[in-house]
């Protein structure tokens, strides 16, 4: 099975690369510029990728008899296990029907596994052999000789993981860089999600980007010096080529089996993001936004590199499986530390090594710094709103659903390497981000900017969820968010397209009459993200996933009361989220038209743009149906690191990380609170923007200070400008001055001196050296010439020379040869 | 009993000798078919060039299969045709080399259209015949075969040089070549008769042993009258070979013949006949080397070193003033013969030193280097001549000045020429550099044994600098000068472009593709090894 999965996912991964190559090489020639074939090519590639991913998921599921789904509810899995030694809680027994299936060791805590796990070990071992054989074939072909391919069940990290090496790039001493794969249910779900959303967005983009299908594209946002607009050739093919490249990079990131490979594709998605943000490269705002995104990501990547260095220095490997196995954890999931706070690593080559605990923290924080940059978390969040300069499909795909979620994905993937202190930092970063971004979203008037801040805020939720030990909750929200946020971005794209590139909500209103499909699907997305539900009857995806996070946060602060902000902020923000999302919907689609011109020209988008909306809307609404008993959550939770379920109590730093049981106990409480907050936010939005009861302008005037603070995005850009940009400018100016006066002076003096010296030198050269060289040259040349004298062309003479030569050789021979 | 003897001879011939001789036989067969086709006026149906190409490709396969078998058996060495010829990896290497080269030459003649359909059977008969002669030279184990081989290679060459019938220079060149060759052949035959007369055998594998018997006290020196005769004979044979190799002072025919002959023939002669002559020289020198003749052969080695110095210096300096590209390449050929002779010289000095036993590896490396050099030389020299031939077809001239501005007008051709010439100079990424490096390395090692080898090395290095001048002059004309507006444009068909690109690519790859270069080095080393192992076993 491992081989099948690997092949399918590799096809899904490499097809977009192929598409990219074809589009970028064949696209720009001749009349192909103005045809839609690059788009269909890209759709075909990513669509086939989706089919491959989906079938991989299904194969994986049927291969495991959907064991992850049958396994008992996550929160009591650890309890009902026969030999639960470390968690003496009351067994809730809520789902007795599942009791037998619960024996299945798919999510075993460490001590449980021994006997029940045998079956799975057999399965995976057999597959491991198959892939081993495959691996050997590779070895024979000279690709790699690393025998690392094996199913990872041996150390019981995760239930069903396939990992191995696809291609070995290079080996520097013991440092081996390779393209690996690491396939578990998280990988499969991510693949399916990414390819599905990407397919929808590709389709949408065919409509959205159709104005590029011309040789004479007029960019109304670029003013030329003569007062006109920029005219340029259309770049339809290029857009789809970049999208394809992005899909390849993103899928490579998800498939990656080692942290270095993640880094490679991390940078690749970064460059794709750069290219796509700056797609309208002539617009000054677009090119600076692209630069900003790229540079701010580099700040995070600097941390990432430091993390990589620590990992390489101490662990000597980049492979996930080896890394996870190296870090010793006791039965309770605590990282085992020695007397002086050192950790004895069990390295893959069998040896042991002591690593200071602080370095583990540094490694974790370093890698997470990369995630901060990529997922636009505080304090590197400012690039994402600016990234909205890219075309809207890009915002939907790259800057909401997939790439920015890559940081969260990596945090989840690398989870076993994060020690509790790092998790706490992660939690706080997430909490601060989600609150901060949500407050800014409240005052934003650009429809895409609202969504951008909402994305940051929701990413903060995910990060918070992961930080407070809700591994599955965080990733659960990642998937649901991907669906409803891409939906909302596409809706906003549809609005922008329908309103002829008008993005200001203050000029919209009442558009639901003009574009009913967009309005309706947007409403679905808004309800989903707001987390509204009618308990017991219907609940959209956002309700479930946000609930999971809030519940985890509540459990966390119950165990660690000092960190109450970690619950308070997300709860508050749940309300704010509902408020600003409904504000967006009311301002755009409800009420009276604010600008008659915009309203009169608005129209519903063509079918190719509304079709993806109609595909995504049900997914956004119902992908999480069943909540934590549902398909999606179970699939994800199947990949959860095994010590998470039971929770970790009283770590070295005094934190208690809540287990599933603790979370479940507070679930309904948290859910109620969150729902109340959401409903409150919704009502407030309705009151302010749905009815005319309160004049928003008056409120703005009354809270002018707060409003200014928020519209200036908490003055982060100004702060960074003052903290980093201006000092750098100052220093640069200073050095420029030094350069110009001091260095240049010396250089000029030296130059003048050199010129003087070289004048003399030249004289010397010309008279003496050249004379000598010319003499030698002329001499050899004339010697060469003189050989012509012998070469007379007279035959008689030639024959004479034979005789002369032979006789001369005789003479030499008899005088010199030994007697 | 006599009939038994005859029967044995026939059996051996049929079972062994003909098998070893199959590459040559295929070529012979091709010649017969060529002539028959001409006789029965089938040459419209079966064009001569196609037949020749088919025949030479078959010969390549025959030689290749021999290489496979011989390589499978390290140290394999067996005489055939009653000891006249020898089959070992060395001779098979040359057979393959020559057959491959023949294919390339035939391909070039097909592309460049010389000869025309009328003359094709004649021309290819001569070409194939000369190649057979060279193959015989490479496999000769008897002084008689040595002579037959040389003559069989030479006589068709004379005719080929004069093949451009209408042209006066061509006929003149052929005449000079014939007369000069006849003189050299006479000298060589005289030398052979002296050697065979004194030593009582023509079998080369027995020569060293016989010298020991003839020499008084087991150490051969000039004081001994009989040894003196042998040494004279050896020298005369060497003069004959020096003619084939166009070593100074027996090189006079070379520039005239090359200028008169078409560039295709020039390319063929400069590579193939040189390769055959070097094979023969190595065999001859090795066969004479023995414990008793060590001092003499060492002196010969140093003597060859001196000739090498003179030859390359002369060749390089004389090339300076040339305005005709073929003449320039003729002098370049002379100079390269000098470089390659360095390897033989170093080999003789090392093999005949008291430390020969310990130096086995280095001795081997000399000949390995020579073989590698020849292989690279094949591509770079043929490449240069091919470019000359192809340009001639458009401009009808071979003057260097007519190449002005080709770099811009026909980059493929010019870049291939660049590869070939730069490789001829011996500049790193190209094969010529590594070939030269190997030979210079061997000479450096030999320097421990005799100081003159260091001198040889220094002169070799200096000559590399000399050679830079005239090769770069051609490149300067091609790349820097403007193409005159009234000159005829050169637009090569893709097949011709592919041909020169192939040669250029090989020149580059032999230098920088480790797989190819290492494989060739290994093969050359093995082939070199087989010469010495044969000499050792026969001793």
Q: What is the pLDDT of residues A400-418, one digit of tens each?
A: 888 888 999 999 999 888 8
- DSSP state, A73? P
Q: Do the Cβ atoms of B235 and A809 come within 8 Å? A: yes
Per-residue pLDDT, B268: 92
Closest residue in chain B to residue A783, using alpha carbons only: B317
Cross-chain residue pair B239–A791, CB shorter than 8 Å: no
Smallest CA–CA separation between A24 and chain B, in Å?
28
CB A587 within 8 A of CB A500: no
pLDDT per residue as tens digits for the range A765-819: 888 888 888 888 788 778 777 777 777 777 888 888 888 888 998 888 888 887 7
Whether A810 and B235 lie within 8 Å, measured CB to CB: yes
**Cβ contact, residue pair B180, A802, below 8 Å:** yes
| CB < 8 Å to B251, chain A | none
> A344 exposed, middle or buried (CB, 10 Å; 0-12, 13-18, 19+)?
middle
User: Which residues are bridge partners to B78 per DSSP?
Assistant: B87
Instruction: Write the pLDDT tens digit of every residue in B244-283.
Output: 999 988 888 898 899 889 999 999 999 999 999 999 999 9
As a whole number of angstroms, the distance between CA A147 and CA A125 comes to 14
Q: Which residue has the higher pLDDT, A222 or B345?
A: B345
pLDDT mean over A171-196: 88
Q: What share of chain A is helix, strand, coil (3-state, %, to 5)?
A: 70, 5, 20
CA distance A787 to A765: 31
A760 close contact with B: CB closer than 8 A = no
Residue among A793, A795, A806 minimizing CB distance to B179: A795
> How far, in Å, are B264, B295, B425 from residue B501 at the CA level?
17, 48, 19
Instruction: Kindly state whether B489 is in contact with chain A, defined as any CB-CB distance less than 8 angstroms.
Output: no
Q: Is A815 on the interface with B (CB under 8 A)?
A: no
- Cβ separation A806–B180 shorter than 8 A: no
- Separation in Å, CA of B148 to nearest CA in chain A: 21
Nearest CA in chain A to B238: A806
pLDDT tens-place string over residues B308-354: 999 999 999 888 878 899 999 999 999 999 999 999 999 999 988 88
Query: What sign has the CA pseudo-torsion B344, B309, B388, B512?
Result: positive
Tokens read off for A580: 């600003």
Contacts of B299 in chain A (CB under 8 A): 816-818
B370-399 pLDDT, tens per residue? Answer: 999 999 999 999 999 999 999 888 888 889
Identify which of A791, A808, A814 has the shortest CB distance to residue B222. A814
User: Is the pLDDT score of A130 beyond 70?
Assistant: no
Using a pLDDT cut of 70, give the percent of chain A over it.
Answer: 88
Between the alpha carbon of residue B169 and those of residues A745, B162, B172, B267, the distances in Å are 69, 9, 5, 18
Choose among A787, A806, A818: nearest Cβ to B222. A818
Mean pLDDT of all residues belonging to chain A: 81
- The reply to whether omega before B115 is within 30° of 0 (cis) is yes
Q: What is the mean pLDDT of residues B146-169?
A: 90
A102: tokens are: 């619960």
Angle between helices B89-112 and B48-72 (to 10 degrees): 160
Least confident of A14-18, A129-133, B5-9, B520-524: A129-133
For the segment A249-273, the average pLDDT, to the nearest whole number, is 91
Nearest CB among B252, B256, B317 relative to A784 is that of B317
CB contact under 8 A, B317 and A810: no
| Tokens standing for residue A670 | 């948290």
Angle between helices B168-199 and A795-816 in degrees, nearest 10: 30
CA–CA distance, B484 with B186 (Å, rounded to integer): 50
Inter-chain residue contact A818 with B295, CB threshold 8 Å: yes
Nearest Cα to Cα of residue A574 among A552, A542, A535: A542
Classified as helix, coil or strand, B337 is: helix
Q: How confident is residue B78, by pLDDT bands cut at 50, 70 and 90?
A: confident
pLDDT of residue B460: 94
Contact between A273 and A253 under an 8 Å Cβ cutoff? The reply is no
Average pLDDT estimate for A504-514: 84
ipTM of the complex model: 0.85
Contact predicate A34/A186, CB 8 Å:
no
DSSP string, A453-492: HHHHHHHHHHHHHHHTT-HHHHHHHHHHHHHHHHHHHHHH
DSSP string for residues in A791-803: ----HHHHHHHHH
Residues of B in contact with A801 (CB under 8 A): 249-250, 252
Judge whether residue A325 has pLDDT over 80.
Answer: yes
- A window 54-93, beta carbon within 8 A of B: none
Among A115-129, A619-633, B117-131, B347-361, name the one with the lowest average pLDDT: A115-129
pLDDT band at A252 (very low <50, low <70, confident <90, very high): very high
Contact A802 B317 (CB under 8 A): no
How far A774 CA lies from chain B's nearest CA (Å)?
13
Q: Which residue has the higher pLDDT, A123 or B47?
A: B47
* A795, A801, A810, A816: best to mutate for the B interface, most B CBs within 10 A: A795
Which pLDDT score is estimated for A114? 34
Q: Is B232 on the interface with A (CB under 8 A)?
A: yes
Within 10 angstroms of residue A671's Cβ, the number of other Cβ atoms is 23
Query: b/e per residue, B295-323, with b = 16+ CB within 10 A?
Result: bbbbbbbbbbbbbbbebbbbbbbbbbbbe
Tell me if chain A has a CB within 8 Å of the CB of B176: yes
- Per residue in B95-131, pLDDT tens? 999 999 999 999 999 988 888 777 888 899 999 999 9
Check B320 against A785: CB less than 8 A apart.
yes
Q: What is residue A652's three-state secondary structure?
A: coil
Cβ distance A571 to A672 under 8 Å? no
B249 chain-A contacts, CB cut-off 8 A:
801, 804-805, 808
Residues β-bridged to residue A179: A167
Domains in chain A: boundaries: 739-816
Rounded to two decimals, what is the model's pTM? 0.59
């Amino acid at each position: 099975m491992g081989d099948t999965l690997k092949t399918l996912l590799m096809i899904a991964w490499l097809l977009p690369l192929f598409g990219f190559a074809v589009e970028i090489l064949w696209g720009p020639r001749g009349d192909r510029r103005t045809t839609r074939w690059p788009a269909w090519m890209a759709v075909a590639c990513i669509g086939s990728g989706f089919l491959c991913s989906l079938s991989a998921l299904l194969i994986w599921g049927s291969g495991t008899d959907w064991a992850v789904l049958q396994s008992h509810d996550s929160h009591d899995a650890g309890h009902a296990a026969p030999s639960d030694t470390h968690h003496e809680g009351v067994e809730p027994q809520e789902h007795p029907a599942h009791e037998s299936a619960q024996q299945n060791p798919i999510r075993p805590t460490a001590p449980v596994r021994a006997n029940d796990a045998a079956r799975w070990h057999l399965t995976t071992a057999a597959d491991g052999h198959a892939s081993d054989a495959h691996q050997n074939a590779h070895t024979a072909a000279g690709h790699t000789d690393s025998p690392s391919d094996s199913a990872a069940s041996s150390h019981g990290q995760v239930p069903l993981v396939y990992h191995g090496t696809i291609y070995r790039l290079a080996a520097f001493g013991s440092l081996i860089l390779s393209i690996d794969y690491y396939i578990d249910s998280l990988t499969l779900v991510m693949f399916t999600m990414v390819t599905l959303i990407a397919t929808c967005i590709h389709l949408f983009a065919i409509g959205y980007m159709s104005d590029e299908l011309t040789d004479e594209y007029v960019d109304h946002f670029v003013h030329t010096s003569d007062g006109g607009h920029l005219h340029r050739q259309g770049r339809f093919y290029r857009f789809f080529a970049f999208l394809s490249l992005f899909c390849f990079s993103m899928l490579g990131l998800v498939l990656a089996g080692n942290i270095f490979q993640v880094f490679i594709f991390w940078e690749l998605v970064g460059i794709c993001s750069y290219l796509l943000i700056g797609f309208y490269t002539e617009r000054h705002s677009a090119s600076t936004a692209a630069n900003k995104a790229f540079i701010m990501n580099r700040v995070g990547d600097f941390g990432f590199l430091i993390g990589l260095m620590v990992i390489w220095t101490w662990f000597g490997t980049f492979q996930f499986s080896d890394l996870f196995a190296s870090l010793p954890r006791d039965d309770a999931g605590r990282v085992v530390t020695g007397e002086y706070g050192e950790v004895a690593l069990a390295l893959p080559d069998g040896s042991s090594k002591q690593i200071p605990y602080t370095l583990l923290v540094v490694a974790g924080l370093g890698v997470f710094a990369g995630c901060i940059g990529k997922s636009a978390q505080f304090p590197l969040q400012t690039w994402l709103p600016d990234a909205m300069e890219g075309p809207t499909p890009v915002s939907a795909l790259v800057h909401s659903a997939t790439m920015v979620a890559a940081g969260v994905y990596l945090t989840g993937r690398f989870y076993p390497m994060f020690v509790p202190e790092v998790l706490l930092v992660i939690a706080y970063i997430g909490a601060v981000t989600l609150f901060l971004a949500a407050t800014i979203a409240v005052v934003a008037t650009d429809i895409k900017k609202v969504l951008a801040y909402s994305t940051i805020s929701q990413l903060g939720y995910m990060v918070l969820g992961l930080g407070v030990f809700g591994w599955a909750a965080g990733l659960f929200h990642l998937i649901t968010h991907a669906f409803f946020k891409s939906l909302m971005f596409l809706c906003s794209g549809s609005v922008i397209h329908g309103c002829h590139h008008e993005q200001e909500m203050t000029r919209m209103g009442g558009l639901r009459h003009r574009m009913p499909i967009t309005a309706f699907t947007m409403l679905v997305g808004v309800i989903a993200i707001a987390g509204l539900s009618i308990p017991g009857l219907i609940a959209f995806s956002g309700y479930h996933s946000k609930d999971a996070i809030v519940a985890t946060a509540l459990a966390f602060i119950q165990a660690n009361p000092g960190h109450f902000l970690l619950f308070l902020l997300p709860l508050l923000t749940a309300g704010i989220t509902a408020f600003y999302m409904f504000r967006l919907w009311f301002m755009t689609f409800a009420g009276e038209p604010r600008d008659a011109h915009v309203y009169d020209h608005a129209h519903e988008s063509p079918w190719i743009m509304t079709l993806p909306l109609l595909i995504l809307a049900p997914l956004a609404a119902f992908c999480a149906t069943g909540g934590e008993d549902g398909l999606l959550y179970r699939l994800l939770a199947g990949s959860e690191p095994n010590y998470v379920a039971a929770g970790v109590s009283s770590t070295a730093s005094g934190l208690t990380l809540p287990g599933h049981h603790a979370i479940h106990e507070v679930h309904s409480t948290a859910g109620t609170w969150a729902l109340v907050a959401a409903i409150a936010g919704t009502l407030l939005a309705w009151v302010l923007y749905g009815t005319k009861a309160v004049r928003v302008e008056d409120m703005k005037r009354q809270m002018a200070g707060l409003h200014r603070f928020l519209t200036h995005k908490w003055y982060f850009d100004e702060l960074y400008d003052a903290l980093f940009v201006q000092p750098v400018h100052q220093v640069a100016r200073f050095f420029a001055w030094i350069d110009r006066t001091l260095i240049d002076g010396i250089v000029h003096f030296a130059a003048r001196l050199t010129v003087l010296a070289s004048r003399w030198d030249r004289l010397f050269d010309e008279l003496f050296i050249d004379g000598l060289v010319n003499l030698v040259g002329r001499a050899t040349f004339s010697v060469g010439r003189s050989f012509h004298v012998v070469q007379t062309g007279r035959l008689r003479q030639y024959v004479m020379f034979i005789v002369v030569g032979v006789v001369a050789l005789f003479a030499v021979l008899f005088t010199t040869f030994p007697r | 009993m006599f009939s038994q003897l005859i029967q044995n001879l026939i059996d051996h011939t049929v079972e062994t000798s003909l098998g070893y001789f199959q590459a040559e036989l295929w070529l012979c067969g091709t010649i017969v078919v060529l002539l028959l086709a001409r006789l029965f006026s089938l040459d419209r149906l079966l064009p001569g060039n196609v037949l020749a190409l088919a025949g030479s490709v078959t010969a390549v396969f025959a030689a290749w299969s021999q290489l496979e078998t011989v390589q499978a058996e390290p140290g394999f060495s067996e005489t055939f045709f009653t000891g006249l010829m020898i089959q070992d990896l060395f001779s098979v290497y040359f057979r393959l080399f020559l057959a491959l080269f023949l294919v390339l030459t035939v391909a070039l003649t097909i592309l460049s259209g010389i000869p025309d359909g009328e003359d094709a059977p004649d021309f290819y008969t001569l070409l194939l015949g000369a190649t057979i002669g060279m193959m015989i030279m490479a496999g000769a184990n008897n002084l008689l075969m040595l002579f037959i081989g040389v003559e069989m290679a030479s006589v068709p060459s004379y005719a080929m040089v004069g093949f451009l019938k209408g042209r006066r220079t061509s006929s003149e060149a052929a005449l000079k070549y014939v007369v000069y060759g006849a003189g050299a052949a006479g000298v060589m035959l005289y030398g052979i008769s002296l050697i065979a007369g004194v030593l009582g055998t023509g079998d080369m594998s027995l020569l060293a042993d016989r010298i020991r018997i003839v020499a008084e006290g087991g150490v051969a020196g000039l004081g001994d009258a009989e040894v003196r005769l042998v040494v004279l004979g050896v020298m005369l044979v060497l003069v004959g070979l020096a003619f084939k190799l166009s070593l100074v002072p027996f090189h006079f025919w070379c520039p005239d013949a090359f200028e008169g002959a078409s560039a295709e023939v020039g390319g063929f002669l400069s590579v193939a006949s040189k390769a055959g002559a070097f094979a023969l020289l190595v065999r001859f020198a090795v066969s004479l080397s023995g414990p008793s003749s060590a001092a003499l052969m060492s002196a010969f080695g140093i003597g060859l070193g001196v000739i090498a110095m003179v030859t390359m210096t002369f060749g390089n300096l004389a090339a300076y003033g040339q305005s005709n590209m073929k003449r320039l390449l003729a002098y370049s050929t002379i100079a390269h013969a000098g470089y390659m002779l360095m390897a033989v010289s170093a080999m003789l000095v090392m093999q005949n030193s008291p430390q020969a036993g310990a130096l086995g590896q280095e001795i081997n490396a000399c000949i390995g280097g020579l073989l590698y050099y020849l292989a690279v030389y094949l591509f770079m020299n043929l490449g240069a001549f091919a470019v000359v031939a192809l340009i001639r077809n458009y401009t009808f001239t071979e003057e260097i000045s007519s190449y002005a501005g080709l770099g811009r007008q026909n980059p493929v051709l010019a870049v291939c020429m660049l590869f070939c010439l730069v490789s001829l100079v011996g500049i790193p990424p190209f094969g010529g550099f590594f070939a030269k490096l190997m030979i210079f390395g061997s000479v450096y090692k030999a320097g421990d044994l005799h100081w003159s080898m260091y001198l040889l090395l220094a002169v070799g290095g200096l000559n590399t600098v000399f050679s830079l001048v005239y090769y770069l002059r051609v490149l300067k004309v091609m790349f820097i000068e403007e193409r005159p507006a009234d000159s005829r444009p050169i637009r090569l068909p893709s097949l011709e472009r592919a041909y020169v690109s192939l040669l250029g690519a090989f020149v580059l790859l032999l230098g920088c593709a480790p797989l190819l270069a290492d494989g060739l080095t290994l093969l050359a080393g093995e082939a070199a090894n087989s010469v010495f192992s044969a000499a050792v076993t026969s001793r």
